[in-house]
Structure 1
């Protein structure tokens, strides 16, 4: 076939229509027209509202996981914050409770010290304050250890009182500490006087007899004028305890027909089991002036004859 007879036009399959540049210009002009028209006349507002209405369920479903994650994060954050606040509140409550207990304890100590000072003001005997350190380790005696000893001038036989009355007597002195035998010890005895009747007697320790931590008036006649509630004070006739210090109060009187003596139980006025601060008095014998020499000499000559 001769070359001049060939058809040089492209087949219909490769025909592209308008060029790309012309399409860009046409669509750009259309887009600019629509933007200006929508800005001035809002012609696309109904279409936009319709599309938003149609897409709302899809948006709602798409936001559910995000909102759920936010709620979960907020829940765990609130839970952690609540736990921290609860822990802080518990710690603060414990601290306030400890402070309240300390305030109550300090108030009790202050009240006891005031009473001790009031009792000290009524006693003319020289004295010095001491603190109870601990109870003695011997289970068969009733003793406590105080923080004063020979270095502070403590002597054996010195009476010891607390804010309520006679607590005991110093029975052993060390350089820095001393042992005090309580009046409820079974080997301890103290002369007392009934403030109601003026009758004198002797109170003995009765730690394991009728009542633990009590005293007993022994050798009292069965018809003795002693009643429950009578206050017993030191008589001062032993040369150790000053007169007038509270010792005990009669708790129970047993009058039996088979014996001529009454069994009288007394409760100590001092806090024998809970004393903290005490006052150590000088022995009464140390305050008695020595016997004059001019009187002692004739007495010695008379004894020789």
Structure 2
């Protein structure tokens, strides 16, 4: 306040002085004020620039949020495209398998898993109205899945080959020996089976292929069940048994085929006319 009053008094005094006397004082005052004025002007400019920067940062934050949302949308679209590509690849494989086999098959989609256990049963979206019957083999392009158990008009339940109640007459391809594949549920979070009653004198190796023998009436001959993982000798010493890893990916199965009855061969036309 005092400085302001003093400045006002000096201004009034300068105003009352004669012009020739005031001129030198005005020049001296101008020389004193000019540096201060320059500093104030530069400071004001910096304040304005800082304010514009702060306002610009608000726009940058909004732009960053917008770009983040766009990235999330693009990632979602990419995952959807990858899913569609995988489904298309699976469908092409299923179609190729469907066309390659000589047996009638009913294409199905897996729509559920049995409450009794993940590795015991699953449900397919085809039933009796589609031609599905109990006791039919169920396969995938990789190999045997199991057999149909309960069937209604709209769907059917499949007993997986890893179900402990599943027994399948099987054959070791390389050795030519027969045995029975029994389901063992799961071990370490994966489905397992075991082929038992192998002749004790037969050489069984890790990696040997196990297929259906065709005996028993449900499973046709030659369907791949899986591969030998390890071999043991029975306690009695009369037989061998071997752990079998199913070839079909039972845990990630999305499509399967129910085998129909094999069509009888068409009669050959008679040669020549009637005598």
The answer for the alignment partner of 1:9 in structure 2 is none
Q: Secondary structure at the match of 1:131?
A: strand
Q: Show the 5 A alignment for 1:114-133.
A: 114-133=92-111
**If the length of structure 2 is used for normalisation, what is the TM-score?**
0.75
Counterpart Cα distance in 1 of 2:156 and 2:116: 15
Name stretches of at least 5 consecutive residues in structure 1 with no aligned partner: 1-48, 290-305
Q: Secondary structure at the match of 1:119?
A: helix
Q: Secondary structure at the match of 2:90?
A: helix
The answer for the alignment partner of 1:223 in structure 2 is 201
1:116–1:164 contact (8 Å) kept in structure 2 = no
Q: Does 1:190 align with 2:168?
A: yes
1:151–1:175 contact (8 Å) kept in structure 2 = yes
Counterpart Cα distance in 2 of 1:199 and 1:52: 115
Q: Show the 5 A alignment for 1:153-172.
A: 153-172=131-150
User: Which structure has the bigger radius of gyration?
Assistant: 1
Q: Show the 5 A alignment for 1:172-183.
A: 172-183=150-161
1:235 aligned to which of 191, 200, 213: 213
Counterpart Cα distance in 1 of 2:113 and 2:189: 20
Q: Looking at secondary structure, tell me which structure has more strand per residue.
A: 2
Counterpart Cα distance in 2 of 1:78 and 1:210: 58
Measured after TM superposition, the shift of residue 278 of structure 1 is 1.3
Measured after TM superposition, the shift of residue 144 of structure 1 is 0.8
1:254–1:264 contact (8 Å) kept in structure 2 = yes
Q: For 1:55-94, what per-residue CA distance to the aligned partner results, in whole angstroms no more than 9, with x for missing partners?
A: 5434334435543442333222232222223222322222
Alignment CA distance shift 1:157-1:168 (3 Å): same
Q: Secondary structure at the match of 1:207?
A: strand
Q: Show the 5 A alignment for 1:263-302.
A: 263-283=241-261, 287=263
Q: Looking at secondary structure, tell me which structure has more helix per residue.
A: 1
Counterpart Cα distance in 1 of 2:123 and 2:55: 58
Name stretches of at least 5 consecutive residues in structure 2 with no aligned partner: 1-26, 266-275
Q: For 1:89-147, what per-residue CA distance to the aligned partner results, in whole angstroms no more than 9, with x for missing partners?
A: 32222223223333333333333333333332332111121111121112386111111
Counterpart Cα distance in 2 of 1:145 and 1:71: 69
The answer for the alignment partner of 1:213 in structure 2 is 191
Counterpart Cα distance in 2 of 1:210 and 1:70: 68
Alignment CA distance shift 1:144-1:50 (3 Å): farther
The answer for the alignment partner of 1:87 in structure 2 is 65
Counterpart Cα distance in 2 of 1:237 and 1:122: 23
> Which is further off, 199-208 or 125-134?
199-208
Measured after TM superposition, the shift of residue 204 of structure 1 is 0.9
The answer for the alignment partner of 2:17 in structure 1 is none
Q: For 1:148-185, what per-residue CA distance to the aligned partner results, in whole angstroms no more than 9, with x for missing partners?
A: 12232221112211221111111111222211111100
Counterpart Cα distance in 1 of 2:105 and 2:204: 33
